[in-house]
Amino acid sequence: MKDLQKIKIIARPPAIRAVSGENEAIRLYLEYYDKKDYSRLIEICGISIKEIVKNLPMPIITDRSIYSLFFGALGYEYTGDYLKQKACLKILFSLSDSVNLLNDRGIDVLNRGIAKYLQIAEIDGVEELNNIDVRTVKFKSPGCFIATAVYGSPYAEEVILLKEFRDNCLLKFKLGRMFVAFYYWISPPIANQIAKNNSLKEITKSTLVVPLIKVANILNRKRN
């Protein structure tokens, strides 16, 4: 097992790996963690975690991926999902030899994640952690598939607004929950087609997403 003190960590200049939406994603991780909104934290971290798992053993490593694994682990810990917490930390620990790609902020979070991993290993044993198959762990998928396809990012302001509308309005009523369940069932293949076609994006945006955003804004104002 690696010794924390022997891991050599090298910072990189911020300009080397500029990733679109990375700063906004990290801001949301910190915001939801501070608010103790662990359900939302898990949801947005899961976007990045699923991508990391899909590309193992050679994932693209950025500050966002390190943040998502660490804060995802915290979110799963606070919600009592310890298998997913350990899976996140196991992945994080396995990436520690590639940290020469990170900024200073990612290095700090990485060290905190490694320390947490070692703490759990002391209690549960290294063998138990090593036996976790991270590819079989079902990390939470993001919602609002169609809006994400239209705006190109799950962190777009419009997508976040629609998720808040889902959580604060639709999920509080039986019919709303039924609609959300149906939407999650039917929307992924539709979203995949929209994401590949700019004309479909514009049509969907003007005829579906923008009207929904207007409705969400009106209902949010009434609720507040």
* Joined tokens for residue 185: 């069932």
Q: Please give the pLDDT value at position 57.
A: 77
**Cβ partners under 8 Å of residue 164, min gap 6:** 216, 220
Yes or no: say if 68 and 48 are a contact pair by the CB < 8 Å rule. Answer: yes
Cα of first residue to Cα of last residue in the chain, in angstroms, is 53
Distances in Å between the alpha carbon of 126 and those of 11, 90, 134, 179, 199? 28, 10, 15, 44, 52
What is the distance between the alpha carbons of residues 24 and 214, in angstroms, rounded to a whole number?
Answer: 23
Ordered by start, the domain boundaries in the chain are: 4-136, 145-223
Maximum alpha-carbon separation in the chain:
57
d(CA 131, CA 4): 21
Q: What's the confidence (pLDDT) of residue 101?
A: 56
Whether this model's pTM surpasses 0.85:
no
Distances (CA, A) of 124 to 55, 86, 115, 130: 27, 10, 14, 11
Whether residue 56 is predicted with pLDDT greater than 60 in this model: the reply is: yes
Residue range 98-130, pLDDT digits in tens: 655 566 777 888 888 989 999 998 888 888 888
Phi-psi region of 21 (alpha: psi -120 to 50; beta: other; left: phi over 0): left
| Two tokens, residue 209 | 């997403």
Euclidean distance between CA atoms 205 and 154, whole angstroms: 15
Q: Picking from 9-18, 22-31, 74-83, which range would have the lowest pLDDT averaged per residue?
A: 9-18
The secondary structure element, H or E, covering residue 199 is helix 198-204
pLDDT digits 0-9 by tens, 79-101: 899 999 999 999 988 877 665 55
46 phi, psi to nearest 5 deg? -60, -30
Fill in the amino acid letter for 45.
C
